[in-house]
Amino acid sequence: MTTIQLSDDYRLHFSINEVSSPSGCLNLKIESQWLGAKDPDARQTRYQTTLTRADALKVAVAILKEAAR
C-alpha cells in the first residue's frame, strides 16, 4: 500500500497485488481515508480493477508521460 495524497485530514492510497485468477494479472485498488471520520482508520474503495501485466505497464507509462510534462 502506498499513500499518494496526504493532507491533515485526508489520505489517498493505492495498492497493486498479483491475483491468482486470471493468471498473470494484477489488481489495482485506490482507496480514500478521511481522518475526521467516526472511524479514522476506515478506508473507502474508490476504484478497483484487474489488469493484465501488459495493460498495467501501459497505465504506468501513461502516468510517467503525463507526470514528465
Per-residue burial over 17-45, b = 16 or more CB atoms within 10 Å of its CB, e = otherwise: eeeeeeeebbebbbbebeeeeeeeeebee
pLDDT for residue 6:
84
pLDDT for residue 19:
95
pTM above 0.75, yes or no: yes
**Structural domain boundaries in the chain:** 2-67
pLDDT tens-digit readout, 26-40: 999 999 999 999 999
Does the pLDDT at position 20 exceed 90?
A: yes
C-alpha cell at position 3 = 499513500
3-state secondary structure of 9: coil
Mean pLDDT of the chain: 94
pLDDT for residue 5:
81
In angstroms, the Cα distances linking 46 to 3, 28, 42, 49, 69 are 14, 11, 13, 11, 26
